[in-house]
Amino acid sequence: MKAKDVKPGKVIRVLDASTRPIDPATGKPLEPRAQPGYYPGYDVLSQQAFWDAATRKVVLDRVRKIPPIRFFTPDETDLFRAVCDRIIPQNDRDSDHQIVIVNFIDERLHENRLDGYRFENMPPDQKAYQLGLRAITEIAQHLYAKSFLGLTTLEQEFVLKTVHDGNPPAGHDIWKRMPVHRFWHLLVQDIVGIYYAHPYAWNEIGFGGPAYPRGYMRLENGDPEPWEVEEKRYEWEAPLGSPSADYGAIAGMSEHPGAPGQRGTH
């Protein structure tokens, strides 16, 4: 069932077959791994002696020093953690190799570290998060008559998908103060920004990581450096029925072409 088909007020139940990705050969969930992705054995941190000291400190601090929660309330923290778990699910990672996300976003909001701008029709980032979390709670109540935390992972995804699609069935007074697609952007851009800053994620995607003062020498044909590894692909499928497995334009993008990229390139 697509989230679009969800009628406001109708309670749907989705069978929570598994929260883990599936091996298409056996149809069974894959065992959690220390390192998902197609570069088994690749460990970017094993190269840290080849990095400059300033970079080493920044990257290792990220792995070792998890900032305390100072901005979100305990309830908001639990809720937001569940939201992060759906925007970047980590059920294929074993518990020792999960990447902490909430604390780093909390730190940014606590320190009021901005990206240098705010859209004119958006509240300050802190307020946007508080309002957005409230709206997510209202959508969960509206669709399933439960708290977001009380839902199955698939149900949680359906709640978030209504925000992605720009047709949340509840929280209307909140969306009057903050366009849905702008909130979605803030949320996903922050979350992916934390996950893919982590060396575990670099291992997963086969990214070479810091390279000063050593540099790279094999520039073409996707060749690995001597210390990088070859790709070894395996098949996997998202948990059955997971709406986030499908790609689709963020709603509002065509009518409001107002979501340009945030990162400089050239």
Partner 1 sequence: MKTPLFGAFGAPGPKHMLGAMQSIDGRMRKYGNQGEVDFCIVGVGSAGGVLLQRLARAGFSVVGLEAGPLWDTERDWVSDEAGSHKLYWNDLRITGGEHPLTLGANNSGKGVGGGSVHWAAFVPRLHPSDFRVYSEDGVGADWPICYEDLKPYYELLEREIPVSGPAYFPWGDPHGYPYGPHPMGGCGDILINGCTKLGIRVCIGGPVAILAGSHGKRPHCIYRGYCIQGCKVGAKQSTLISHVPNALEHGAEIRDSCMVSRINLARNGSSKSGTVTGVTYFDSQGHEAEQKAKAVIVCGYAIETPRLLLNSACPGFENGLANSSGTLGKYLMAQAGNVVLGRFPELIRMYKAPPAHAMTEEFYETDTKRGFARGFGIQTVGPLPIAFARQMTIAKGAWGWGMRRVMMDYNHWGAIALLGEILPWPDNRLELAAEKDKYGIPVTKVTFNLHDNDKKMIEYGKNKVMEVMSAAGAEEVVQEQRYAHLVGAARMGSDPRTSVVDGFGRTHDIPNLFVCDGSVMPTQGSANPGLTIQALAARTADYLIAQSQFGLKKGAHSSETPRIRYDLSPPDTWGKGVPHLK
Which spans of this chain sit near ligand FAD (rule: CB under 6 A)? 264, 266
Binding partner of 220, given partner 1, ligand FAD, none, CB within 5-8 angstroms per partner class:
partner 1
Amino acid at 136: I
Q: Angle CA(152)–CA(88)–CA(186) in degrees, nearest 5?
A: 110
Binding partner of 243, given partner 1, ligand FAD, none, CB within 5-8 angstroms per partner class:
partner 1
Burial 214-239 (b: 16+ CB within 10 A, else e): eeeeeeeeeeeeeebeeeeeeeeebb
Smallest gap, in angstroms, from Cβ of residue 251 to partner 1?
9
Q: What is the end-to-end Cα distance of the chain in Å, rounded?
A: 42
DSSP 62-95: HHH-PPPP-SS-HHHHHHHHHHHHHHS--TTB-G
* Number of other CB atoms surrounding residue 70 within 10 Å: 11
Smallest gap, in angstroms, from Cβ of residue 265 to ligand FAD?
6
* Nearer CB in complex with partner 1: 180/194: 194
Binding partner of 7, given partner 1, ligand FAD, none, CB within 5-8 angstroms per partner class:
none
> Which two tokens mark 64?
């070792």
Smallest gap, in angstroms, from Cβ of residue 266 to ligand FAD?
5
Q: Is 28 in a helix, a strand, or coil?
A: strand
Q: Which residue is nearest to ligand FAD (CB)?
A: 264
* Nearer CB in complex with ligand FAD: 27/264: 264
Smallest gap, in angstroms, from Cβ of residue 260 to ligand FAD?
13
* Nearer CB in complex with partner 1: 74/118: 118
CA–CA gap between residue 51 and residue 56 (Å, rounded) = 6
Binding partner of 65, given ligand FAD, partner 1, none, CB within 5-8 angstroms per partner class:
none
Length of the chain: 266
Q: Within a 13 Å sphere around the CA of 104, how many CA atoms are in the beta-carbon half? A: 20
> Which two tokens mark 247?
């790609």
CA–CA gap between residue 89 and residue 245 (Å, rounded) = 11
* Nearer CB in complex with ligand FAD: 112/262: 262
* Nearer CB in complex with ligand FAD: 65/263: 263
Smallest gap, in angstroms, from Cβ of residue 53 to ligand FAD?
25
Binding partner of 193, given ligand FAD, partner 1, none, CB within 5-8 angstroms per partner class:
partner 1
* Nearer CB in complex with partner 1: 17/145: 17
Smallest gap, in angstroms, from Cβ of residue 9 to partner 1?
25
